[in-house]
Chains A and B, each alone.
Chain A
């Protein structure tokens, strides 16, 4: 689903933010990126989203290259930031409708009308969007209330609804649990499980080691712009992730060798 190959990023001031980052995520997995501040987690996500250009390397989502077709690749991803910021003058429903409109019209343009549009099958657009907001757990009373009156958890829900409406197979979550109260975090976690079960692939960066271990199928630790460890849930089951994390971060353990396939292995012509 997501292949990141030898991704490098050097900023204009010479700071090396990423160095040969390689990540491979299979469809339907939750992938957690751990690391200290400045490790390169957000930079990686920023490059996938197209916010900043990569200095070297490439990214494939569903075999679509960022270098070759950045616009089409962006149609395959949905992004949710730490603080889901939406248009405060609009209600949750209006925000969702706006992003639904641009999402569908762009997809129609890119894929020449070959998309499944649930809303046009049986439900009207309003019913469809309202249903999605309900599905992500937003109470009916708040659907038509201005976003400015939403709590952070409610904003996260609308953010997820926006991602769902976009119908993107890959979700990028930047510190999604930061600042959420336990109940909201629990609800959000359940929502992510549900999405994974529906076949969505999730890449999230987080500082929350325990939740990462609980949720993620693969955990990756980054340090100073490099991937120093990638392990599956099974490999980590009997280990203390907190200790492993600190060992890597404090340099007590050498980085794991990375065995990434060559680019030609997964490019579908």
Chain B
């Protein structure tokens, strides 16, 4: 029975010009956004490959360097094509004694498709256009049949009213689901074909969960359209209702969170946490600058445009002073580094909490849920950023511990070593050598460091890969909200069914 009804509904939808146009428009948008995102991703990959090569080269000659600059810790996330989410900086400078002080993707500079806070991804396509298209397809599914008159004939058949609603719901659902799934699968195959080494269980899991979430999203909006169709006997009126509901869900509610609810509830606390972080940062910087120059030589910092780095180097002539400097760093600067990191984590954790609260506040709004869940699925959430930071710090700590174990710390492990022949005794002399150019000062240090005694084996940069999540982990991340999603669908189904039970079919 349902099969016949469903088959008929799908055929009916397929023959409708309005729906045909809508589908074509959706497919064109899908292809356009996909192509733009793929080009963007390709540029990120190219940059990443350059970064890795540069880094490997750095590692190969690391015995001569006093610092390590792991520039490409993580691959660009494939799912940024589908969900850009919270933008995770890919390139990090991590230094001993330093927190992660600056992060940027070099790719951002020369990629014309790369826009800050870019939302033009497949998730945007789904939450903005697909939701609208589903409502445009389903807004007259019930009252349209009533207007034509076929509803009356159908109701003289012994079919249950909920069967009719099921027919309508699954008709719209399957139609839209197929419309989405076909380009989605094709896009996946294209990605796998275009980018080598992408295919993994993790990738497939994310793809599956993303698809599953989209199916729930489509189901919700199909039902919503049918519910609206049951609320009015006039299709034109239900079209207006649909648009109003869409504006409410897609625009008004998210904006109300950003500009009304969030500032009232959280701004104060976020500001407080950020102030703590700022204070810690200031304290650490102050202590860094407080280094006694007679201990070691110089503690030089320079900043270029948006770039901040620090260099510590000592001289043979002032070995005792350098040891004192190291101890000072260990005793004073390093603990403060951890405090700064802790304060930064507190801010991020608090922001993650507010996002989770948002999910609960808007449990009835699938657009908010979809946005948040898709970020969790694809590894682009704020939580992933935190995880990434921790991962990067682990790497730094690993290097530190390695240095300690090998006994390098008290020698020249992380300090630039300037050969005696240059007889650079202090900052002023060095400054003169490089003619006042801070950039050249860095190069100078690179160029003249070298001592075979300090050859060391560096840890493998095992994080040159996508974050790995197991099925259980992804499921755990989204389980609660997935249940919320399903509950909201069930509630909407009951509302629609009850509404149609009382619907005047005449």
Q: Which A residues contact B (CB, under 8 angstroms)?
A: 46, 49-52, 71-75, 77-79, 81, 83-90, 94, 98-99, 101-103, 105-107, 109-110, 162, 166, 172
Q: Which B residues contact A (CB, under 8 angstroms)?
A: 1, 4-5, 8, 11-12, 15-16, 148-150, 152-160, 504-506
Residues of chain B contacted by A73 (CB below 8 angstroms) = 158
Residues of chain A contacted by B16 (CB below 8 angstroms) = 89
Q: A49-B155, A52-B504, A87-B12 are in contact. Are A81 and B149 (CB under 8 A)?
A: yes
Residues of chain B contacted by A83 (CB below 8 angstroms) = 149
In the complex, which of the residues A52, A90, A110 contacts B158, with contact meaning CB atoms closer than 8 Å?
A: A110
A50 to B154, CA, bound (A): 11
A73 to B153, CA, bound (A): 15
Closest to B506 in A: A51
Residues of chain B contacted by A87 (CB below 8 angstroms) = 8, 12, 148, 150
A159 to chain B, nearest CB (A): 8
Contact (Cβ within 8 A) A78 B1? no
Contact (Cβ within 8 A) A74 B157? yes
Residues of chain B contacted by A46 (CB below 8 angstroms) = 506
User: Besides A52-B504, A81-B152, 13 other CB < 8 A contacts?
Assistant: A49-B152, A72-B158, A73-B158, A74-B156, A79-B152, A79-B153, A79-B156, A86-B150, A89-B16, A94-B11, A99-B153, A102-B5, A106-B159
In the complex, which of the residues A52, A102, A172 contacts B157, with contact meaning CB atoms closer than 8 Å?
A: A102
Residues of chain B contacted by A78 (CB below 8 angstroms) = 156
B171 to chain A, nearest CB (A): 13
Q: Give the residue among A77, A99, A102 with the most B Cβ atoms within 10 A.
A: A102
A108 to chain B, nearest CB (A): 9
In the complex, which of the residues B12, B158, B504 contacts A71, with contact meaning CB atoms closer than 8 Å?
A: B158
A83 to B152, CA, bound (A): 11
Contact (Cβ within 8 A) B1 A109? yes
Closest to A82 in B: B149
Contact (Cβ within 8 A) A102 B155? no
Closest to A72 in B: B158
Contact (Cβ within 8 A) A98 B504? no
Closest to B1 in A: A105
Q: A83-B149, A85-B149 are in contact. Are A102 and B159 (CB under 8 A)?
A: yes
Residues of chain A contacted by B154 (CB below 8 angstroms) = 102
Residues of chain A contacted by B11 (CB below 8 angstroms) = 89-90, 94
B197 to chain A, nearest CB (A): 48
Contact (Cβ within 8 A) B506 A52? yes
List 15 interface pairs A-B (beta carbons < 8 Å), by A numbering: A49-B156, A50-B156, A51-B505, A52-B506, A73-B158, A74-B155, A74-B156, A74-B158, A75-B158, A85-B150, A86-B153, A87-B8, A89-B12, A89-B16, A107-B158
A42 to chain B, nearest CB (A): 8
Contact (Cβ within 8 A) A71 B506? no
Residues of chain B contacted by A162 (CB below 8 angstroms) = 153
Contact (Cβ within 8 A) B155 A50? yes
Contact (Cβ within 8 A) B155 A51? yes
A102 to B504, CA, bound (A): 22
Closest to A98 in B: B8
Residues of chain A contacted by B5 (CB below 8 angstroms) = 102
In the complex, which of the residues B4, B152, B506 contacts A102, with contact meaning CB atoms closer than 8 Å?
A: B4
Residues of chain A contacted by B153 (CB below 8 angstroms) = 79, 81, 85-86, 99, 162
A99 to B158, CA, bound (A): 12
A88 to B145, CA, bound (A): 11
A89 to B14, CA, bound (A): 9
A204 to B16, CA, bound (A): 34
A85 to B11, CA, bound (A): 18
Residues of chain A contacted by B506 (CB below 8 angstroms) = 46, 51-52
A89 to B13, CA, bound (A): 9
Contact (Cβ within 8 A) B4 A98? yes
Closest to A108 in B: B1
A259 to chain B, nearest CB (A): 30
B140 to chain A, nearest CB (A): 14
* Nearest 6 CB-CB pairings of A with B: A85-B149, A89-B15, A101-B4, A71-B158, A79-B156, A105-B1
B235 to chain A, nearest CB (A): 15
A157 to B148, CA, bound (A): 18
Contact (Cβ within 8 A) A77 B159? no
A74 to B11, CA, bound (A): 26
Contact (Cβ within 8 A) B149 A102? no
A258 to B5, CA, bound (A): 44
Closest to B16 in A: A89
B393 to chain A, nearest CB (A): 62
A72 to B159, CA, bound (A): 9
A193 to chain B, nearest CB (A): 23
Closest to B504 in A: A52
A75 to B116, CA, bound (A): 62
In the complex, which of the residues B12, B15, B148, B504 contacts A85, with contact meaning CB atoms closer than 8 Å?
A: B148
Closest to B146 in A: A85
A88 to chain B, nearest CB (A): 7
B28 to chain A, nearest CB (A): 24
